[in-house]
Structure 1
Amino acid sequence: MEFMRVSNIDTIYKKGTGDQAVIVLHGYGASFKDLAPLHSYLDPQGLFNWYFLDGPLGVDIGMGMTGRAWFPIDMMKLQIAQMNGTFETLFADHNPEGIFEARDRVMKCIDEISQIHSKVLLGGFSQGSMVSLSCALQDVSKISKIFLLSSTLFDQDLMNEKVSGLRDIPIFQSHGQGDMVLPFSLAKRLSELLEKNVATYEFHPFNGGHEIPLNVIERLKEFLIRE
């Protein structure tokens, strides 16, 4: 693996033997290093060209440590919403502040990467999956597949308006039924919307929390290589 800049975003790149690219966006408080090891499990033959992008924002994750993020999150508001059961109003009715800026940054990367690879597969975990979905809703023309790991519904009115544009793009979604960060109830609402509007869509709920378990990795591996 090597470090590079792609359209002004720090990137870990793993060259493959094929001509397809996979762009991966990490979650809030993590970094491009966190998901980079996944390539060896998802692509043991090294067929894909992997691009792990680093979020542009530095965030304090406690104990003197910092991570990266794609857009800011008011953690106090998030925790209160989780405790009092009002999380569904936190994102579902609007776009999170800063997600459009993150989307535009990533779309510039997609533009650049699509010029040198035959296909671009896009996805991410948690906040990274939200940005991935926002990119696809804006312009899916350069994206061949989408994977959403522990994602959530946001701005339902906008999604209802634009989701038909995703009809011909295969989409993979997974979510833990015990997720304490992004509730399963909102993931299920997102799943119902996608299932109704996307021709090739698969949803993989699992017994677990805010994570990417082995059984999801196996299913995602199959999804990525499927024609």
Structure 2
Amino acid sequence: MNFEQLSEGALPMVVGTPDNFDPSHQYGMIVLMHGFGSHMGDLAGLAPLINETDYIYVCPNAPIGMNIGFGQQGYAWFPAGGQTQPDDINNAVSQLQQAVDFAMSKYQPDDSEIYVGGFSQGGMMTMHAGLTRPDIYKGAIILSSRLTQVDLFTDRIESARKIPIFMSHGTEDLVISIQDGRETKNLLDEYGYEIEYREYPMAHEIREETIVDLKNWLQKT
């Protein structure tokens, strides 16, 4: 695959395209959002492991810069923990959608094959920005995450068409507990989502087994 960094949209992003990319061909598109304190390159490495021929991968950078120590810069979609306010999420969702609109305009994907996903805080964004837009996204990928600002979310998805979800979590996760993951899954169940849910004996991470199950889900969705 080929990767390039773009800065002209609402958010900087890394975009991965298949080898021998043909601009006249309509590929699917997968939007992948990194977690709290990470950066746009973090999930780009998953692209060739998921499917290196059929999709364009859009990995946007979260808008809030932060010092993560040792002179390193990380990024967040919104403030963590109890500091999160509805406006923080609304602002992040708006910027993400502008970035996705830019990528869609530039690459002209098959608009029936667009997925959105993320890890940790990126998974929270997937729920707020993705599940609320079934007019754009065919499915959602939620990795090691939980729902935040539940009332804001449920108000938006009450009448929304439900798209299929792939959801995974580690039973040894000490960052976002497996209990939080299960409670989020149960809430989404209550709202009628079709969820392929997987648990693995792992910490706050993405392992090969997760990618294998995700690939299989994409093939049948």
Q: Is the pair's TM-score, using the shorter chain for normalization, greater than 0.5?
A: yes
Alignment CA distance shift 1:149-1:57 (3 Å)? same
* Alignment partner of 1:102 out of 54, 73, 92: 92
Q: CA deviation at 1:30?
A: 1.0
* Alignment partner of 1:53 out of 60, 71, 82: 60
> C-alpha separation between the residues in 2 aligned to 1:193 and 1:148?
14
Q: CA deviation at 1:72?
A: 2.3
Residue equivalent to 2:199: 205
Structure 2: gaps spanning 5 or more residues: none
Aligned amino acid, residue 39 of structure 1: A
> C-alpha separation between the residues in 1 aligned to 2:159 and 2:183?
18
Q: Check whether the contact 2:131–2:140 (CA below 8 A) recurs between aligned residues.
A: no
* Alignment partner of 2:31 out of 5, 19, 23: 23
Secondary structure of 1:12's match? strand
Q: Check whether the contact 1:20–1:48 (CA below 8 A) recurs between aligned residues.
A: yes
Residue equivalent to 1:121: 115
Q: What does 1:61-210 align with in structure 2 at a 5 Å threshold?
A: 61-73=68-80, 90=82, 98-115=88-105, 116-118=108-110, 119-165=113-159, 167-210=161-204
Secondary structure of 1:8's match? coil
Aligned amino acid, residue 141 of structure 1: D
Q: Check whether the contact 2:132–2:157 (CA below 8 A) recurs between aligned residues.
A: no
Fraction of identical pairs, as percent: 27
Q: CA deviation at 1:161?
A: 3.6
Instruction: Name the count of aligned residue pairs.
Output: 209
Secondary structure of 2:12's match? strand
Structure 1: gaps spanning 5 or more residues: 79-89
Q: CA deviation at 1:165?
A: 4.4
Are 1:40 and 2:30 counterparts? no
> C-alpha separation between the residues in 1 aligned to 2:168 and 2:85?
21
Secondary structure of 2:41's match? helix
Instruction: Normalising by structure 1, report the TM-score.
Output: 0.82
Aligned amino acid, residue 105 of structure 1: Q
| Cα RMSD after superposing both structures | 2.2
Instruction: Normalising by structure 2, report the TM-score.
Output: 0.84
Aligned amino acid, residue 17 of structure 2: K
